[in-house]
């Protein structure tokens, strides 16, 4: 058994990490702080981003943070009645607001019973020194993770997807967070238009060199009412098959330091919004097939290092 897993996975699982730190079940509650995104306002947004700002499974932005939290918690309690919680600010860019607004929303979540940490999804270009200083203070009183979207290390791809920042800006943001001892989790997307397997592996190698704390690996999927859907209709670029995706993920894991926690390893689209690929709807089949392929190849996370 891999030393950073409790369930025969061959990579460093989030479940293992949480159990080692808190010795009990941790549930993440996805929240919508009703934030916007500077890239959407200034640059029409990333081509893949949905109308919900990638917060399809978060709470309702029309409700306050505590109400959202408790509604989702009550459902989760039916399965995990004695869990501790991490409040996950998921939708859009969750540091894109005046500092006083951020403080109010974050600390409203932290005041809820059994919340042991915050996870804040944001962009590298929305971390002013003022906000970084506040995050450093937060990090001293709770378990804080900042999730940064990168998607790809390749400048050509970043421009194609209308990301709105370059690789250097991302790298600098990671280093500023690390200087303050704040945990960094990075999102990447496999299967972005016209990227090769080698390019996707290079992205992971770059993140490994940055010594990030965790990673979320997504598969590109096409949602209705997105710019990507319009482009796909015209260009019909190649979408990865399930077999191609599994092959790439297995190779990427080999280049990640074993201490980097794998927070996510596949996408999770809503069926009613999905255009393609349909194989992503069978999430657990994809997860199981990754496990099987790693076993067949007899490989583990960090094998190639």
- pLDDT tens-digit readout, 203-214: 999 999 999 999
**239 three-state secondary structure:** coil
- The model scores a pTM over 0.75: yes
Neighbours of 282 (CB within 10 A): 13
Helices 167-179 and 197-210 cross at an angle (nearest 10°) of 30
Assigned architecture for domain 14-297: Alpha-Beta Horseshoe (3.80)
Which residue, 258, 276, 259, is CA-closest to 267?
Answer: 276
User: Can you give the pLDDT at residue 38?
Assistant: 83
Q: Which of 20-29, 45-54, 153-162, 171-180 has the lowest mean pLDDT?
A: 45-54
Q: In what order do the strands lie in the sheet with 143-151?
A: 26-31, 84-89, 115-122, 143-151, 183-190, 214-219, 261-264
User: Can you give the pLDDT at residue 33?
Assistant: 92
pLDDT in tens, 14-55: 999 999 999 999 999 999 999 988 877 666 778 888 765 554
- Is the pLDDT score of 68 beyond 70? yes
Q: CB-hemisphere CA count at 13 Å for 224? A: 7
What's the burial of 297, exposed, middle or buried (CB within 10 Å: 0-12/13-18/19+)?
middle
Quote the CA–CA distance of 14 and 263 in Å, as a whole number.
5
Percent of the chain topping pLDDT 70: 96
Quote the CA–CA distance of 171 and 177 in Å, as a whole number.
10
Give phi and psi for 50, each to the nearest 5. Answer: -85, 170
Across 13-32, b (16+ Cβ under 10 Å) vs e yields: bbebbbeeeeeebbbbbbbb
Quote the CA–CA distance of 196 and 139 in Å, as a whole number.
38
Across all residues in the chain, what is the average pLDDT? Answer: 93
């Amino acid at each position: 058994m891999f030393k950073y897993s409790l369930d025969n996975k061959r990579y460093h699982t989030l479940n293992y990490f949480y159990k080692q730190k808190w010795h009990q079940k941790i549930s993440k509650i996805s929240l919508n702080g009703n934030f916007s995104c500077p890239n959407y306002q200034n640059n029409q947004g990333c081509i893949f981003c949905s109308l919900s700002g990638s917060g399809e499974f978060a709470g309702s932005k029309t409700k306050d943070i505590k109400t959202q939290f408790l509604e989702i918690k009550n459902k989760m309690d039916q399965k995990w009645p004695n869990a501790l919680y991490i409040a996950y600010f998921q939708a859009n860019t969750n540091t894109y607001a005046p500092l006083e607004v951020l403080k109010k929303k974050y600390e409203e979540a932290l005041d809820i019973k059994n919340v042991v940490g915050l996870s804040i999804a944001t962009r590298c270009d929305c971390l002013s020194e003022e906000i970084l200083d506040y995050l450093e203070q937060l990090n001293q009183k709770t378990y804080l993770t900042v999730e940064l979207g990168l998607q790809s290390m390749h400048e050509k791809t970043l421009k194609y997807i209308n990301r709105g920042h370059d690789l250097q800006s991302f790298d600098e943001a990671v280093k500023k967070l690390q200087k303050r001892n704040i945990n960094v989790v990075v999102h990447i997307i496999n299967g972005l238009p016209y990227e090769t397997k080698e390019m996707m592996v290079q992205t992971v190698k770059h993140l490994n060199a940055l010594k990030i704390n965790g990673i979320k690996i997504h598969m590109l999927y096409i949602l209705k009412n997105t710019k990507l859907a319009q482009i796909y209709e015209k260009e019909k670029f190649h979408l990865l098959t399930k077999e191609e995706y599994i092959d790439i993920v297995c190779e990427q894991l080999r280049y990640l330091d074993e201490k980097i926690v794998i927070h996510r390893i596949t996408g999770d689209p809503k069926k009613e919004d999905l255009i393609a690929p349909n194989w992503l709807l069978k999430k657990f089949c994809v997860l199981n097939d990754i496990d099987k392929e790693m076993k067949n190849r007899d490989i583990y996370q960090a094998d190639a290092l």
